[in-house]
Structures are given as structure tokens and as C-alpha cells.
Structure 1
Amino acid sequence: MTRILIVIVICCTTLLSHAQTVLVRDAQNLQPLELVTIFTPSSTISTVTNVNGKSTFEEFKDKDSIYFRLIGYENQLLSYHQIQKQNWEVLLEPSELSLDEVIVSATKWKQGRRETPSKVSILKPKDVTFLNPQTAADLIANTGDVYIQKSQLGGGSPMIRGFATNRVLITVDGVRMNNAIFRSGNLQNVISLDPFATNRAEVIFGPGSVIYGSDAIGGVMGFYTFEPILSHNSKQLIKVRANTRYSSANNEATGHIDFNLGFNKWASFTSFTHSNFGDLRMGSHGPDEYLRPEYIVTRNGVDEIIQNNNPQIQTPSAYNQLNLMQKFKYVPNNQWQINYGFHYSESSKVDRYDRLILYENDTLSNAEWYYGPQVWIMNSLNIQHTATTKAYDHFHIIASYQHFKESRHNRSLNSTSIKHRTEKVDAFSLNIDFEKNHGNGNRLFYGIEAIGNFIDSKGIKENIITNEHSPTSSRYPDGSTWFSMAGYGNYLYKITQKTSLQGGLRYNYIVLNAEFNNDFYDFPFNEANLNTGALTGSLGLIHNPNENIQLSSSISTGFRAPNIDDTGKIFDSEAGSVVVPNPDLKPEYAINYEAGAAFIVAKKVKLDIAAYYTWLTNAMVRRDYQLNGQDSIMYDGELSQVQAIQNAAHARVYGIQLGMEFKWKSGISASTRFNYQKGREELDDGSYSPLRHAAPWFGITHLSYEKKKMKVDFNLQYNGEVPYSQMPDSEIGKDYMYAIDKNGNPYSPGWTTINLKSQYQLNSILMATASIENILDERYKTYSSGIVAPGRNIILSLILSL
């Protein structure tokens, strides 16, 4: 009997030994790390971790030198017994200064920066925590490579390489956010995203249509929210994080809490954020044209113009926002992973500040102009599978449903009627993506995509005295639909160990249907139908002479198919103009040439540069138009110039992006990001104008000190002037938004702000941040913005982590 027990014990010990695994995680966010190479230099023993960060480990028994290596992380050398003492868990620290960073957005799969020919900006989890931004728009601006325009406090429209709005793409956890009513005017959809639930952000510059399809002309902004964390053992993993934030410029009060509950095979992550923003105060030193001397208040149906006691307060601009996120993760084994995510965002009404400062005959023009509560809901299901087959090594399916609700409400001064126009979009998408390793570093990425958008659009006119309601024209054709179907392939080929070639193709087929209601307008057509295809491609060459140098060049094409906003919209683009539907639109195409280089010198200095040239053809632009032979019609009681979106132009943009980073062991570091771009829009009639969304040169310079529990960052943010001679035609007519030069013409002044941010780890669970932005209290606007930027702004925040 004793012998039998001994045999059983030996067998069990042997089985346990052979079942021994090691878990590798990110030291900052504890997420499991896939594709970590584990090896010993003295033998041929090596392995890699799976999608759950695990790998078998019995072959390394009693080894003294075991290396853990992953792109974007510091290498770690440990002995077998050290790992055993750590309960078979290894934590890797992200690299501070390296050309080896992991990128997801470029191909939808983890890929090294050295394998990516495109220019990429990354905000890592550590960066996001330190920046502690007010909105997601402010977060992405901190890359130093994305320019943000704001028409109102509850806004933020990114400009990338001369393109913006529906020519740049937003993704959330791999799901396309752009929908069929994304407009060419400035967008505020990005503020629906919760910066406190965002773990990481990436910006891929230049056309990304091979991977993402329509709209990805200027670039792709990928936001990645926090994921549930498994415990990977028998104990529950409970993590709680709470954050409070206050900023003085608009009396912001933000509260955030998130909660992670992890077990061995499943985990849950819950996030809640509520923000309340008061009216924004501008700076004291700058153009008097930006001041707010008066505003309108309505009492008992009567409009009154009120003198502003403090013209630096931008009344009304206050709003509030609620964000919820719930995620579940289930990992039944090493091959399968199932993720479900729910996002909910709702704002209060947001006053369109740039419309409320508009004057007509020396009197404020609009008594009310606001966006109704903006609602965004997303449900997504992500199923991942890992297996070595002839067709793939990894695949994932992402099925999503999004619901968007937005509305516009406007009433002229002393009018008794207010127009309410409400839009709802139900957006469905299905993506199936595959990755196949072909040995020697060669990899194939391919997949299919299907998207459907269904639009509900209503218009109501209300009498503010009697509360009577009557129908009015809607902004879009009610019941219109937009569909996209596509297939793509992208291949990474290792020519040599130092040189790679990456190329891809995508074919998209777009179907649009819209029926017009002639109850309010006499359209010469009843419907718009679009059936069109688009073929796009990319080819990039990457050469890495050594670990400190990367050279790249690429050519890529992008496209934007007409959407419902282009073909069916009816709205007042500006005072005295109305945009009407145009059913004869075609896709626009861009071709982009790019060359880049990055160097690390003496392990202390990193330099990078990217130069690009983009040519946009068949560009959809707003131009004068005729409806039934008439160039003007009555719209909302005003005779207005008829305009329509037309394929009537082409555009060119060229520029450079520069970056420098310095790091010393003393904890001192410095960095600079600088962007210069020029754009020109050329009409088919031979006339031309500077491109509206080509921002002036801009940049940010940091000087930081980080040691143990403390980090301090001193930075300068700066922006060049746009003189009257370089103002786009579309902006010259908005002189009420700009400063006035010595000749009486509108222009956008350059500006510089001085800012200081600090962070201190009080103890193991408490972290405090304190910042002073715009220390000199400058009064300035970012180019094309309706609202003035914050004046001197004190920001305080306390973060609790358990």
C-alpha cells in the first residue's frame, strides 16, 4: 500500500511538473502579454506566450538565465528559482525610449513599429494616467500631432494632415465609430468617449482604407478602453480605481470609479464617469474681438439682450456628461476568448457657442442654437480563436451594434418658433479578421467586413408661446440607408532580416438609398441611389540597418464614399445659405506618398521625421447650386443662396512631422513634437483656396523630471498665425469668429501657452496631480474654433487605486 502511495505521489508530482506554466503580464496594467519570447542563451530552449500570456515552462527547470523579450518592453533576465518565488508570474516594464513598440491599429493585430511603414503616435497607459485630460478630444491632442478645433465647449474635432471630420476615422476597441451622417463640418462625436475608461490610444497617419475602408484618408484614431483582468489562479482579483478632477477655468467637477472582478476563466470590468462643466472663462490678454460683451436670455417667451458682467465668461457654454462602460471576458481555454462590451454616453444639451456670437445688423442673431442631448450606445461581441491551421493562426470576429442620437434646435432673435431636428442612426457591423504566420517573420492579414446604417430623421416646429407643434423639414431623408461590404488582404514579407515589404489591397462596395419628402421643397428628384465600388491599395518598404535606425517609405490610396450627409442633407451652412441634396455624387480618392526615418543616438536621444504629400481627387465640396433653375430659395423664413455638396474640386496637402526625445538617467527628459502642413483646394473652374482643415504649424515641447514617486512636466504649446491672405474662402465669411488685423480683415493669431503639470504618489493607494495650464492667462483660439480656449486653469485631481 505504501509503495502504491509513493508511486501515486511521484506520478502526481511529475504531472504537475509537466503542467507548470508561467504567466507574463504588463507591469503597469497587469494585462497578459501575448507573443513574449522566453529563451535561454546557453541552449536552444525557447517558447512564446499565448493570447492569455501563458506558456509551458517545464523545459526551463533549474536554468539560471532565462530571458523574457517582447517588442515595446524592457528585456528581463531571471532564474528559474526567482520565477518560482514570484509564484510563476513575470511582470515586464514598457520600454521608455525604443523603436520597438507594439501597434494594433495598423493591421488590427499586434505588430512591431519596425514592421509598420506608416507614421504612428501612441499614448501609452502611463501617458493617459499622467495627462488626466478633460475629454477624449483633449487626450488625442496631447499626442502633439493632432490638431483640435472646437465650436463649443462640448466639442472637439480632430484635424490630421489637412483632413478632418468624415475624412478621418475613429475606432473604439476595433469598432468603426464613423456613421452615415458624419458630416464635413466640424464634429464633436469624439467627446462621447470616456478618457477615464481609455487605456491606450493610437493614431495612424495617412490613408488607412486598406484595413478600415471609407473615410480613412487623413488617418485613423484608435481608442482602446480598459479590459477585464483575469486572476489566473484560484483567488479573486479585485481592483478598484476612483478619480476626482476639478478645473478652475470652467469649474469642472468630475467623478470616476471603475471596478475589476477577475476569476480564473472570467472577469468583469465596470466603469462610471460623470462630469459637470460650467461656463468657460477665457484668458485676460489677447484680442478684444474674442470677448463676450452680451448674451440673450428668454423670459416668459420674450428675448432680452443682457450685458455680460464679465466679458471673459463665455455664456452659455456649460454642459454635463455621463459615461458608463461594462465589459465581460470569458476564457474557457488557451484557444478561445470571448469579450463583450457595453458603452453608454449621454450629454446634456450643448449650446452651439459659435452660432450664439453671430451678429446681424449689429444685433445678436440667434436667441437659441443648441445640440440636444447627444447619446451614443455601443454593444460589441469579440470572439478570438488561436490555432495553427492552414488558413490562420489567429482570428477574431467583432459584431457590434451602435445607436446614435443627436439633434439641433435653433430660434432666431424675437422669433416665436423654434425648430427641432432630430437624427437617430442604428449602425450594425461585422468584421472577421485573420492572421497567418508563414515563417521567417512573413505574415498575412486578411478579412471581410459588412456594415449597415439605418437613419431616422425628423423635423418639428414649436411655438414657444402656445407650445403648439407642427411638422417641418428634416435634416436628412427619413428612412434612408447606407451599406458597405468589403474584403481585404495585407501581407508582410521579410526580404531580409533587416528589410521588410508590406502591401495590401481592399475592395469596397457601397449601396446608398434615400427617398426625399417634397412636402416642404420642390425637389426635381424623388430619390437618390448609389451603387459604387472602390479599390484601394498600399505598399510600404521598411529598412532597419540596426536596432537604432529605421527607414521607411510608402505609397497608399484612400477613399471616401458619399454618405447620407453628402447626398441628402438640408441645412443652413451659414447665414443666408442653405445646402440641398445632390443625388449625383461619386466617391473621392486620395493618393499619399510618405517617407520617414527614426534614430536613437547613444541610447539617450530619439529623432524621427516623416514627410508626406497627399493628392485628393473628385473631392466633395460645398458650392453654389441651382434647384429647379433657382439659385435662391426660402429656408426657415429667410431667402438663402442654394448650395450643394459636389465633386467639384481636387486638393493637395504636403507637410512634415518632427519629433525629438531626450532621456537621462537622472530622471530628466525633454521632447518636442512639431507639425508643418500646407493645403490647397483647387476647383474645377480654375479658382483655388487654402484648404480649410490644413491647420497652421503647431507643436508642443516638454521638459520633465521623474523620480520614484514624483513626476513634473513643464511644457510649451504653440501655434502659428493664419494671416488673412492665407485664410480659406469658407472661413473669411466667419469674421465674427476671428480677430481683426490692422486692415480690418479677419485672421487667426498665433499663440503660445506655458503649462506646468505634476504628479505625486502619496502612498501605495493614493496619487495626486496638480496642474496650471496657460500660466500667463493668454486669450487665444485654436484655428477655426468658435469658442475661446481656457484662460489660466488650475487642475486638481486625486486618484485612488485598490
Structure 2
Amino acid sequence: MRRSLFACLMAAAAAPVGADEVTASEPAAEAEARRRKDAGGEAIALQQVQVTATRRPESGFDVSSGVTVVGPDEIAARAPQTVADYLRGQPGAFVQSTTPGQAIPIVRGLKGSEVLHMVDGFRLNTAFFRNSPNQYFALVDAQNVERVEVVRGPSSTLYGSDAMGGVVQVITPEQRFDGDGWGGRGHFRTQLASGDLSKLARVDGAAGRQDFSISGGVTWQDVGERRRGDGPRLPHTQFRAWAADTKLIWNLAPEHELMFNAQYLKQPKTPRFDELVPGFHQETANSDEFYFEPNDRLFAHARYRWNAMNVAFDTAELHLGYQEINDDRRSRGAGSANRDLEQNRDRLRGFTGSFTKQIGAHALAYGFEAYWDTVDSRRTRVNVDSGAASTRAPRFPDGSTMDSFALYLDDSIELAPRWQLDLGARYSRFEIELPANGGIGSKLDPDDVTGNAGLTFKATDTLHLVTNLGRGFRAPNIFDLGVFGDRPGGRFAIPNADLKPETVVTWDVGVKYDTPGFQAEAFLWRSNYKDKITSVDIGEDEEGRILVQNRNVTELKLWGAEIGARWTVNEALTAYGVLNLTRGEEEYTGDRYDADRIPPLNGRLGVEWRVAPHWDVEAWALYAARQDRLSPRDLEDPRVNPAGTAGWNTWNVRVGWDFAPGATLGLRLENLADRRYREHGSGLDEVGRSAVLTLDWRF
């Protein structure tokens, strides 16, 4: 019996261009592993099909934007602590980690709410995302990942607010089956690591037939104290997490598909290392207690796909989702008897529709988005000596809301046999309301019109020259607007109802080269970031308090280069390399200085060798140059050495043994030289020499 077109489409989206056909009954991860063994090497991101940059399955080689895809092969080989770890050493990305169990990607020098994070087509960014390192991306289960896609550069036309540095999307597995009879499969993974005494287990399974499948899994993670390079184990670096997920796929009728998806992850108690241990230019720690206790994320999601081929659209995709993030905290300042207990909750509801239509030389993608976001916040202070409790002003005004609505259209036009033009436009409107806090409230309704243009010249079948001009924006959110009232240092923050969206305009030019034996890409880019929201002093009140207010006053200029290449020497041997360079300068009231948290020159070099049919070896080095271009904020940050972050490199080896059908034993030896090093902007030193043993069994 024939497969539906949607089964074919999803199989294609998980497979590299030019690979053997993937049957609907074969999971994409297994198909990718089979293809790698057959071909003797792994195709890099350029050859893989992506869906984020264009909202439709398309080869990364044919997209004008810079796109990074971490595919199933690399997902299976990694030993991540959080989902951000998949992006270490990837083109255009750098990873910052304030404390174990939390990490963020930095894309083209931007971070936090300046980059849009998504899971399965739904926004992860919430109304209390801050435009600095945060812990929320780590609330996505790193063991439930099919692939990670990064669109480098502004993507606000298709994705709206926050997509200024780019879009990072996590896509979770979808299990499919052939035939009328029921079938099933399962997967078990366990992992042990010596560097942080971590233990991990994941079990998942699926059952189904041609028109229906149901799958689910659970993950358990226990991370102990981290041993830094050439040194002792570090206190306050342990944490635990557990996660569960389920997914149902139902082909209602030919060309109609319905999917239900639910995900949950919880970190019961995660310490914030840099608050509990003295940092640079500190003699004592800031806090006696500081724990995210707990942090969790619940995600429920329905998707409907229809392949209609009618006058209005060829394909339609509707998403209905609900996400709840709880950011609860327990903190107590150094030497203080007052313990603060916080409950901060964000509830995000969304309904989106995206459509595609081919009309002659025009490939249209258009749609709408509507999100409703609510923030609840409470804070209680307890005296640990007396037990007396009192209600304190919450971190955010309780009951704050941020709603958004948008329409967009993108057109990919074949101008001539070798020329392609991409044009897009979007209108977004926001309704933001913060209830009164201490007699002060705020309400505003900004809107924005943005667009992009991209041009591809297909010089040959293997060489493409591309250029892009895009405008991104970030609407002020509850974090920007909601921190007002009494502040430390005798300050008093007042709201600003005139805040407007931040904007960035980025231009890039690149070359993409793709042959069976060699693939490479290189991009040069430059961004002008205006109206950055910054807290400024505006005078004193009658009580002598310093008045501060968030205003659109700062401008950044960012530029850099991204280079990636993979060379298949022969059927058994492949070499690859990545180099990222980012520079940044900030301007405020006429003063110019180095921009905040800019990554140093960094990248990855490695080789993969299929030693025998059942053995493979990979050796690689991660590296970063010295970073002494520091902003005033960097110089005051106890996470950053005021003399600059030293350059570093690590040497690593992985050995994989397919010792039985469906069973693989992997050994990773990381940081072999036991280097003590710190990734720029991170809150603690990285893991020293470590052995990681992984068992994967598919049945």
C-alpha cells in the first residue's frame, strides 16, 4: 500500500539530499546511521534538508541564508549535558554556560531573547526571557532530539520578535511505520562520565502501522561535582533532571495528518555556581543560598497538516500549543538571615498557520501567528532565625500579559535558470500590560513592519554565491518593562511606556560549494543593532533616590566571518573544520567601547575514520583564542576575568563499536591534556579529562 505524501515529506526532511530513500518504517536516526555506513562518511549540514529557513523542506545548499544543521548522526555520537551542547564548534554558534545544567547559544554575537529558540515549530521564548544568558533553553530534553537547525542572521519575516541573531530550532523524533499490520520498536541509552560523575538513562519506544503511530520516552540524568582541568572537584556543580515525552501521529485520510505531542522536563534543584562561589575580583560569594528550585517546562502541542494542492495553497500546517515554564528560586544573600522564595510562572498559548503555494516561478510561504503570554510572580521572605514570613514585591508584576499577532509573506522567485530572489515582509502587533506594582503600572501596544531580501547566483551545479539583507526586531517584553520599583543601591526604577522594539539590520555575503567529496561554506556578515534597551540614570526624586529607566539608547555594530568545510578523502576517511570570528562595538551617548559577551575566535577541527565495518574512530579539537575585548559590563562581571579570557584548545577522541545488530558501544575521551579552561562569559571552568561510556541499543 502506498505511503501518504506526508510520510514521504517527513522522511525526506530527515534525510540528506542524494541519500538512499528512507522508508517510512525506518526511524530517521537509524536511516542516517545506515546511510553513513553505506557511504563511509557523514554529509554535513549543506547536504541536509532543513525546514526552518524557508518553512518548507529544502536543501541547505539551495537556501541563500547561512544554515547550520546538526543531524541524527552527530546527535547520536554526542554526550550532551544540555541541548545547547550540540552547537559547540558549529558554524556561527558559540555556547555560554553560567552554571552546570544551564547553557545558551550565542549566534552572530547575540544571545538570550535576541535569538529566537523554538521546539517543533513553536516558540520557546517567553515574555520573561532576558536578553542575556538564561536557563530556559536547558529545559528541553537533549536526549529527545532528531536534529537541531540554526538559521544565522535576522529571520523576523518568518518568525517575528526575537529572531535578530537568528533562529535555533529543536526538532524531536517522529516515528512512522509501513503496512497495515502493527509493528513496534524501542531504544535504550545509558551513559556514564568520569569528569562530572554523571549518570544518564533514556528509554523510548513506538508502536504503529501505516496510518497511526504512538511513541514515548523517559530520561533520567544525575550530574555530580565537576572536576576542572588539572584541579579539584568543584562544589555546587551537581544537579538532577528528569523528562518524559509522548507523540501521536494519525493519518486521518490521504494527505491529512494530525500530530499530538507532549513534553515535560524538571530540574528539581540546580545551584547557581557563580553566586555561591567567589568569582573574579571577589573575596566572598554573593550568596549563601541560590538555587533554581525547581525549574520545569511543560509543552503540549497539536499540529495539523494538509496537502491540498488547491487554488489557495499546496500545503497547510496549523499549530496549537501551550507551554508553561516555572522559574522558582530560593536565595539568601551572604551573611543575611533573610531567605527569599520566588515563584515565577510563564504560560504561553499559541495558534499559528503556515501555507505554501507554487505559482509559476514563485514559491510562496505565508501565514499568521497569534500568541498569548501571561506571567505570574510571587515572592516571600522568611527569616531563617525567627521563622517570620512576609510578602515582598515579586520579580515581575503578577498577572502581566504580552499578546502578539502577525501576518507574513515570503516569495522565492526563479528570476532565471541560475538566479533566485527571495523577498519577504511581515507585520506584527503587540499588546503588553503590566498591573500596578507599588502604585505603578504600564501598558503599551507597539507594532512593527519588517522584511528581508536574499539573492542566489547558481554559478554552477556545485557552486552558489549568495547575499542577504534582513531586518530583525525584538519587542520589549515583561522582563524589559516589569523590573521597576525599589532597586539595589538606593535606586528606584520607573516604567517607560514609550519603549519601542529594538532593531537590527544585517547584510551578509557567502559562498556555498557542494560536491560528493567536498562541501564548504563561507560567510562574511555585518549587523547594525539600534535602539537597544538599556537602563539609564535620569536624576533623583524628592527622597534622594536615583531614578533609573529602561530606554532605547544603545547602538551596536557587529561583524564577523563563518567558515565550515568537510572533505571526504575516501570511503573511510573524512576531515572537517569550522572557524568563527565575531567582533562588536557598542555606542552610548557618544562613547564607544567593546560590545558585551562577544565570543572569541573559535571553532573545531577533526577527522572521522571508519576503521572496519563495525568500528569507527573520531578525533577532534575544540579551540578558542584569547578574548580581551571586554565591555564595561564584562569588566564588572565576576564570571569574566578582567584581564581577559585565556585562549584554549582541547583534544578529544571517540571510538564506536557496533557489537551487535542495533547495539553500539561508544567511548569518548575528552580534554585529553586535562587543560584548565573557561569558555568566555561562562560562570565556571569546564570539565577536565573525562571518559564517557555510552551504550545505545535499538530493538
Q: Flag whether TM exceeds 0.5 (same fold).
A: yes
Matched with 2:114 is 167
Report the TM-score when normalising by structure 1: 0.81
Superposed displacement of residue 364, structure 1: 3.4
Residue 648, structure 1, aligned to residue 553, structure 2:
yes
Please tell me whether the aligned partners of residues 568 and 580 of structure 1 are also in contact (alpha carbons under 8 angstroms): no
Alignment-mate amino acid for residue 8 of structure 2: L
User: Structure 1 residues 656, 428: CA separation in 2 closer, same or farther (over 3 Å shift)?
Assistant: same
Q: Partners in 2 of 1:605 and 1:555 — Cα distance?
A: 28
Counterpart of 2:221 in structure 1: which amino acid? S
Q: CA separation in 2, counterparts of 1:795 and 1:473?
A: 45
Work out the CA distance in 1 between the residues paired with 2:132 and 2:545: 22
CA offsets 1:570-598 (integer angstroms, 9 cap, x no match): 59999898866444311111111011101
The one of 98, 106, 110 aligned to 1:151: 98
Aligned residue number for residue 256 of structure 2: 336
Instruction: Say whether residues 1:768 and 2:665 are aligned partners.
Output: yes
RMSD: 2.5
For structure 1, which segment, 574-583 or 144-153, has the greater mean C-alpha deviation from structure 2 after superposition?
A: 574-583
Query: Are residues 1:657 and 2:562 paired?
Result: yes
SS at 2:480 equivalent: helix
Asked if 1:208 corresponds to 2:152, the answer is: no
Structure 1 equivalent of residue 311 of structure 2: 390
Q: Deviations over 1:164-202 (max 9, x none)?
A: 000001110000100100012311111111121101111
Note the 1:228-627 alignment, pairs <5 A: 228-229=175-176, 231-284=177-230, 312-358=232-278, 362-440=283-361, 442-518=362-438, 526-570=440-484, 581-600=495-514, 603-626=516-539
Higher mean alpha-carbon deviation, 96-105 vs 760-769, is at 96-105
Among 27, 43, 54, the residue aligned to 1:107: 54
SS in 1 for 2:422: strand
Stretches of structure 1 that go unaligned for 5 or more consecutive residues are 1-19, 25-30, 35-50, 54-69, 78-89, 285-310, 634-641, 740-744
Alignment match of 1:120 (pick from 67, 77, 81): 67
1:783 equivalent in alignment to 2:680: yes
Give CA-to-partner distance per residue, 1:614-662, whole Å, 9 cap, x none.
10111112334546367757xxxxxxxx644321111110001011211
Cα distance, 1:316 vs structure 2:
1.1
AA paired with 2:531?
A: N
CA distance in 2, matches of 1:549, 1:345: 43
Offset, 1:694: 1.9
**Partner in structure 1 of residue 639 of structure 2:** 737
CA–CA distance in structure 2, aligned partners of residues 198 and 690 of structure 1: 36
C-alpha contact 2:91 2:563 (8 A) present in aligned 1: no
Any conservation in 1 of the 2:569–2:575 contact (CA below 8 Å)? no
Question: 3-state SS of the aligned residue for 2:87?
Answer: helix
Q: Whose relative contact order is higher, 1 or 2, with alpha carbons under 8 Å and at least 6 apart?
A: 2
1:149 is matched by which residue type in structure 2?
Q
Q: CA deviation at 1:361?
A: 7.9
Partner of 1:687: 591
SS for the counterpart of 2:395 is coil
Deviation at 1:559, TM superposition (A): 0.3
Change in CA separation of 1:589 and 1:513 when aligned onto 2, cut-off 3 Å: same
Give the 3 Å change call, closer, same or farther, for CA 790–625 of structure 1 in structure 2: farther
Match of 1:668 in 2: 573
8 A Cα contact 1:159 1:693, kept in partner: no
TM-score by length of 2: 0.93
Find the residue that maps to 2:252 and give its secondary structure: coil
Larger Rg: 1 or 2?
A: 1
Separation in 2, partners of 1:629, 1:544 = 66
SS at match of 1:127: helix
Distance in 2 of aligned mates of 1:383 and 1:22 = 18
Which residue of 564, 583, 586 corresponds with 1:678? 583
CA 341–578 in structure 1, closer or farther in 2 if over 3 Å, else same: farther
The amino acid across from 2:593 in the alignment is S
Total equivalences in the alignment: 682
Q: Secondary structure at the match of 1:695?
A: coil
After superposition, what is the alpha-carbon deviation per residue over 1:127-176, rounded to whole angstroms, capped at 9, x for unaligned?
11112322201112252531111111121021111100000011100001
1:74 to 2, 15, 19: 19
Q: CA deviation at 1:333?
A: 2.0
State the distance in 2 between where 1:653 and 1:432 align: 33
Alignment-mate amino acid for residue 139 of structure 2? S
Q: What is the DSSP-based 3-state SS (H/G/I as helix, E as strand, rest coil) of the residue aligned with 2:180? A: coil
Q: What does residue 714 of structure 1 align with?
A: 619
Distance across 2 between alignment mates of 1:114 and 1:414? 57
Which one of 716, 727, 743 corresponds to residue 630 of structure 2?
Answer: 727
SS of residue matched to 1:195:
coil
Name the amino acid aligned to 1:119.
G
Note if contact 2:597-2:680 (Cα within 8 Å) is conserved in structure 1. Answer: no
- Post-superposition shift, 1:463? 1.5
How many angstroms does 1:249 deviate by?
Answer: 1.3
2-side partners of 1:575 and 1:187: how far apart? 24
Task: Give % identity.
Answer: 23
User: Which residue pairs with 1:748 in the alignment?
Assistant: 645
What's the counterpart of residue 700 of structure 1? Answer: 604
What is the alpha-carbon distance in structure 1 between the residues aligned to residue 486 and residue 85 of structure 2? 29
User: Which deviates more, 787-796 or 100-109?
Assistant: 100-109
Shift in CA distance, 643/767, structure 1 to aligned 2, threshold 3 Å: farther
**CA distance 1:549–1:728, change in 2 (3 Å):** same
Q: What is aligned with 1:33? A: 8
Deviates more, 1:360-369 or 1:585-594: 360-369
Return 5+ residue gaps in structure 2 as ranges. 23-30
